[in-house]
Amino acid sequence: MYEICQYRKFFCQCHDNWSGILCDIPTNCADYSTDSICIGSMNNQSICVCPNNKLAPRCLLTSCLSNTCQNNGRLTKKKFSCICPNEFYGTKYEYRKIRLDISFEKMASPSHILIYISIMSNGSYRKHMVMFQKLKHKQHSVTFRILEAFHIVFAKINHNYFLIVLQQYPRHFISTSISSNRQCAPINELFNSTVMTMAYI
């Protein structure tokens, strides 16, 4: 038994197999994890203080399996879900997202970029996504991680649109660039004023 006095109060830090305010109650600890500290028993069952990777009254259960998450993922203890790098997805982050690298050729680096992604299924566009990314000063490229396979990507920079990806068969890694020859012409440059005043179909 250890005694520490402070302001006429004391507490006891008990040796193994003893508990209570005065360390006078036998704990009868049995069948508990050797890397835990038994602090008592209740209803003939040990109550222990567990290390980080163990749980339950006797610390016999492991809280996380060390190899559950893949690709440098970490398992959170609260919800038992993986926290992983941005390039992976899945319940264990076992799948890699599609990588889209965009560089800026012969143009000043923009402060931000907005991309419009179209996903085709059975010959028609079934889904559209929009992604936004801020860029640092003099940043000449940007990478997007995209969950689903896509077919067409437009980029919007400073009110101008650029066709940066057009593919029939989706790939898992795409490297493209934005340059003036990929810029989409404004509609009023493509059609004359008569066509522009016509009603929409």
Q: Which amino acid is at 66?
A: S
Q: Which pLDDT score is estimated for 66?
A: 56
**C-alpha closest to that of 87 among 77, 101, 76:** 101
CA distance 72 to 83: 9
Chosen CATH of 64-96 out of 2.10.25, 2.60.40, 3.30.460, 3.30.420: 2.10.25
Residue ranges per structural domain of the chain = 2-60, 64-96, 97-187
How many Å apart are CA 60 and CA 43, to the nearest integer? 18
pLDDT of residue 137: 84
Query: In a 3-state reduction of DSSP, which class is residue 174?
Result: strand
What's the pLDDT score for residue 91? 76
Residue 57: predicted pLDDT: 79
Class of domain 97-187: mainly beta
| Paired strand residues for 88 | 96
Give me the sheet containing 160-166, strands edge to edge.
124-134, 112-121, 152-157, 160-166
Cα distance between residue 30 and residue 153, in whole Å: 64
Whole-prediction pTM = 0.56
Low-confidence ranges of the chain (pLDDT < 70): 1-11, 16, 63-68, 74-83, 122-125
